[in-house]
Structure 1
Amino acid sequence: MSQIQAHEPRTAPLSEEQIRQYQEYGYLVLPQGCSADLIHAYNAHIHSIRSADPIPEWAFPRKRGQEFVSEEERFSVRLFNPHKHDGFSVQMLKLPVVRGALAQLMGDEAVGIQSMYFYKEPGSPGQAAHQDYYYIRNEPDTMIAAWIAMERVDEENGCLWVIPGSHKLGLLPHGAVKNVQEHEPWTKETENIDLSKELPVRLNKGDILFFHSLLIHSSTRNRSLDRWRRSYVCHYIRHDSVIEREDLKVKYRLD
């Protein structure tokens, strides 16, 4: 197994109890893993990118190949892989507390492979129950998501829901989304699961949710009248894992 030589000391933010919780349930919350000041600065930075005229090509909010964008879509269509183009975004991908937590959970250094900034404005739908591994195959499977809450997240504005322990079930079949009133229709949905076992994950601004690639999770429609549910979500694998998807093969070191 190849090794990555760390240039700087690595933090170890997780307790043994938190690591056991992750292993048992497939997820854990690191309270206030990111400071409010940093969250505010990054939200403002992303807003400035999407407010630009013209919007940079890499940040253009296209939907299914469209060439034009409405004013509303500037702040509703997710920003995909900003870390590949933007210095602030790559530093958010490399947060020392995230690097340290991932190393504790993986037992070795992690590398970043994907980032997404979600807006989820009031009224917008969620994503049906699924497993991230279905979309991002990696071998051996070591992938973990770090989901940073960019503001308070709860049932009203469309928080994540998880089925604790479902990461132990392996990869399950995925099919067409059934409830298109609640969920985006273009995604896939894990089939033959008991959604009554889902639990909401409520997060405060700056909390970081770590979860396993096989954990079944979903989100609901944002039912608030004036609350957004912005988040910065990054995916990581152990440095020696291999990604199948060509668009995610570049590995970003976290040191």
Structure 2
Amino acid sequence: MNDTYIKPITPLTEEQIAFFREQGYFLYKKGMTEDLIDAFNGHIYDIRNQNLIPDWAVCAKEKRYSVRLFNPHKHDSFSRQLMKHAIVRGALAQLMGKEAVCVQSMYFYKEPGSPGQASHQDYYYIKNDPMTMIAAWTAMEEVVDIENGCLWVMPGTHKLGLLPHGTVKNLEEHESHTDETEGVDTSRQIPVIMEKGDILFFSELLIHSSNKNRSTSRWRRSYVCHYIREDSNVLHREDLRQKYPLY
């Protein structure tokens, strides 16, 4: 660490840390200000609302406000700013015991009518050693609820280890190109209702999902970053090997 290193803040209480350890997730209310979220949403819109879209953000013209932006933190300074947000950095350091580094980011649009993702564990897609990964899922809308496709979590399932994943069964509800957990009754999942600026931290082994956005006019934009402890490494995924420090 260099001479300008500043220790992370400690936003979580011991009770909140204990809740995360027991349940596998924790919802931090109003972790980011509405002004910051509004500015970021506008910035992301501008990236694709131009004639010459950067190569890393290019997609079919008719899908430029629906196809997620994958790993914007690798290319965009504002995306890195949110990736390094003080609340996120501090909470992760408390939960991991050391500084975190970012390995993946995604900005989801999830327009009305779009499908969700079936029940899964993030470790299935991003294996890391030692296992330390935590996601920070930030709500970018006034309200993220059941109607517009909020996340559902299954408390305590991070203690089950990695479960088998197989073909998605309900294609009316969920996108087809992912897999879903098998061998466990996912009907015990509960919805996580969020407001703009709320941050949901959850373990890489927590079973979670989202359903179809059934709203006719409300989007469900979100910014999701995946972090591992600084001494951990991503396995098998060459595209996610690079570590981005939070300080």
TM interval, shorter chain, is over 0.9
The corresponding residue for 2:24 is 26
Picking from 125, 135, 157, the partner of 2:125 is 135
**Deviation at 1:96?**
0.9
1:230 aligns with 2:221: yes
Partner Cα separation in structure 2 for residue 51 and residue 222 of structure 1: 23
TM-fit CA distance, 1:52: 1.2
Q: Deviations along 1:18-64, whole A, 9 cap, x unmatched?
A: 10000000000000000000000000000000111121111012xxx
* Offset, 1:5: 8.0
Code of the residue aligned with 2:156 in structure 1: it is: G
Provide the C-alpha distance between the structure 2 equivalents of 1:196 and 1:128, rounded to a whole number of angstroms. 12
1: CA distance, partners of 2:107 / 2:83 = 11
Distance 1:200 1:5, change over 3 A: farther
Identity rate, percent: 64
Match of 1:74 in 2: 64
* Partner Cα separation in structure 1 for residue 180 and residue 2 of structure 2: 36
Partners of 1:76 and 1:20 in 2: CA distance: 37
Q: Does 1:179 align with 2:170?
A: yes
Map of 1:36-55 to 2, 5 A cutoff?
36-55=34-53
Output the CA distance in 2 between the equivalents of 1:181 and 1:18.
36
Partner SS, residue 127 of structure 1: coil
In the TM superposition, residue 107 of structure 1 has moved relative to its aligned partner by: 0.6
Is residue 125 from structure 1 mapped to residue 123 from structure 2 by the alignment? no
3-state secondary structure, aligned to 1:83:
helix
TM-score normalized by structure 2? 0.97
| RMSD (CA atoms) | 1.2
Structure 1 runs not aligned, ≥5 long: 62-68
Q: Alignment partner for residue 238 of structure 2, among 237, 243, 246?
A: 246
Structure 2 unaligned segments of length 5 or more: list them: none
1:60 corresponding residue in structure 2? 58
Partner of residue 163 from structure 1, selected from 151, 154, 177: 154
Q: Which residue of 2 aligns with 1:191?
A: 182
One-letter identity of the residue aligned with 2:18: R
TM-score, length basis structure 1: 0.94
Task: Note if 1:87 corresponds to 2:85.
Answer: no
What whole-Å deviation, never above 9, does each CA across 1:124-175 have from its counterpart, x for those lacking one?
0000000000000000100000000001100000000010000000000000
Q: Secondary structure at the match of 2:103?
A: strand
The runs of at least 4 consecutive aligned structure 1 residues that moved more than 4 Å come to: 3-6
